[in-house]
Every structure is written in C-alpha cells, then in structure tokens.
Amino acid sequence: MNMKILAVIGISGTVMLGSVYSISANTSGYDLYKDALKKTHQLESTTMEISMDLLDNSKEVYSADTTIKTNRLDKTMAGSSTFSNGETTGSYEMYRQDGQFLVKKDRENKVYSMKSDGRVHGSKSDRMELQEDMEKLVDVLTKDLQQKVVVNDSKDGSKEVVLSLSETEIPIAANVVTSMMLKHAAMMNDRTEDMDSSFHDVKFKLPELKEDIVIKSAEVKAAISAQAFVEAQDVKIIVTGKDEQGKTHQVSFAVSLDVTNVNNTKVGPLDLTNLTIEEVSHGKSRN
C-alpha cells in the first residue's frame, strides 16, 4: 500500500485507538468495544467489504472498494479491489495460499508473489507487552474522552458504539501526532515510490501540509452483533492545514467496514494455470 495512504490511515488509527483504549476498565463502552474487536479477529472465517474515500477540498484524491474473504483456520484469503485517483482507475485480485501472498493486477497475465509464512515478528509475550504498553499510553493521552463514548442498545441484542468529537474535544496529543505524520508523509513516499511502482500504476498525491494542521472532527461508529463481534464500522476524519505555499486544505478521510458470512465464508484459490509468477521482495534499499 502506498505510504501516503498509510499515513492517513495512521491518523484514523490514532483516533480509533483513543476511542478503544481511553475508557477505564470498568466502563461498559470500553469493555464492549475492546472485547468485540478481539472476538472479530478470532472468527473462523469472514467476508469483509471495505470502502475508503480520501478528499482534498472536496476533490477526490483516492478511493477504493475492497472485498476480502478469509479463513483463519486454513490461513487462506481471497480478495479483490478497485481503486481510483479521480482520473484513472485500476483493479487487482489478492490471495493467500500455499504459504504465499499473491497479487494479480487487472488485464495482466502475471502474478506477483511474496512469501507469507504466517509468522509475526517478535514473540507472543513481546507482542502482548507492546499491546499493553500502547493501551496505557493512549489511555493517558485520551483520558478526557472517557465520557464521550455512547452505547446504544437494540432489542435484538446488538449494540452501537459511537464516538463523535469536534475540534475542541480532540486531545492536543492527537493533533501533534497527526501533524508529524502528515509532514513526513511525502518523505516516506519518496523513499518507497520505486518499491511501489510494480503494483501502483494509479498514483495519487496527498497535499503536503506544513502548518496549522488540526483535526477538525472525528467520528467512529461500530455496530456490534448479538454474538458480540464487530459487524460494521465507520470512521470519518477531517483534517485542515496549510501547504508550503500557504494554501488551505481540508482533507477528508472516510472508511467503512461490513462483516458478513461469519464462520460460513468459502475461500477459493487462484488458478495459476498459464500465469507467470514474479517474486517480489520488500527488503529493497531505502536510500
């Protein structure tokens, strides 16, 4: 994924982590959302529909619609995505099978392959310690948001968790992190542009904000099923700032997620017959 979009997703992640981990352990909203997220990751199989839109002063910069089918027990995945920068569109398919991560771009008779052995760097205890430390850090940074989370109950046992913040309610720390990420987004992209070129022929340009970077609003809505997993989630973030020439930008980021066919999703493999396989490495130099 292009590093610029990773930076924007990181912004939403800051707010989302705040919404998840800012509530003290005895607060029902915190327990409900956190446990539902954990249970979602533990489901045997799912179909996820993900849509993402990025706007600069109301003009489309990037959009994507993705369907991902996964089977956690078999360690398999099959998905497809279409994306656009407002002028050019593209699409690709992605699979995880036989210990490999495969990407096939539209209209190409070639498959890009990366090894995917399922291992995660670091031991399980190290990852748990890191997660706990992150929770504590974000809890401190966002403790003033504890009473902002609203939980709405439905008669069928499902629930809705909502965090809606205006500019004055967003912690200073979140704006500091956002400012740093956006200022370095262009640098990160320059370092990885050559690495991305094999995949990303639909380019987009995120405005390079330099000054007065502020999160104007942030909203997270999560629908939690009666079985206590997240079945839908929407995140909307609006950030303003000025570029090097002093022009004001309003950057809007929205992503939605829907989870269906829980524990009943079938994942089919990619037929490699008559396809050329090209090995791809992410270990290239970043000079």
What are 102-160's pLDDT values in tens digits?
999 887 888 988 875 554 445 556 556 656 665 565 555 555 665 677 889 888 999 99
Please report which residue ranges of 149-266 form alpha helices under DSSP H: 172-196
In a domain? residue 286: no
Helix (H) or strand (E) holding 252: strand 248-260
In a domain? residue 110: yes
pLDDT at 210: 85
pLDDT at 34: 75
What are 248-287's pLDDT values in tens digits?
999 999 999 999 999 999 999 999 888 898 887 654 444 4
- In the chain, the number of structural domains is 1
Closest CA to 204 of 94, 55, 14: 55
Tell me the C-alpha distance between 65 and 93, whole Å.
12
In a domain? residue 285: no
Instruction: Report helix, strand or coil for 31.
Output: helix
Task: Give this prediction's pTM.
Answer: 0.76
In a domain? residue 266: yes
In a domain? residue 284: no
The mean pLDDT of 180-201, rounded to a whole number, is 56
Helix (H) or strand (E) holding 130: helix 124-141
Lookup: tokens for 98: 């036989």
Residue 234 pLDDT > 80, yes or no?
yes
Q: Is 202 or 91 the better-scoring residue by pLDDT?
A: 91
Average pLDDT over the chain, rounded to whole? 78
pLDDT at 166: 87
Sheet holding 45-56, edge to edge: 150-153, 159-166, 209-224, 230-243, 248-260, 45-56, 59-71, 76-84, 89-97, 100-105, 110-115, 276-279
Question: What residue type is 147 in one-letter code?
Answer: Q
In a domain? residue 287: no
In a domain? residue 158: yes
Lookup: tokens for 68: 């991902």
Read out DSSP for 97-114? ETTEEEEEETT-SEEEEE
The mean pLDDT of 76-98, rounded to a whole number, is 91
The mean pLDDT of 228-253, rounded to a whole number, is 93
Residues 6+ apart with CB under 8 A from 111: 102, 103, 104, 270, 272, 275, 276, 277, 278
Contact 252, 238 (CB under 8 A): yes
Residue 222 pLDDT > 80, yes or no?
yes
In a domain? residue 80: yes
Tell me the C-alpha distance between 6 and 21, whole Å.
21
Q: Which domain holds residue 113?
A: 3-279
What are 27-65's pLDDT values in tens digits?
457 667 778 888 998 999 999 999 999 999 999 998 999
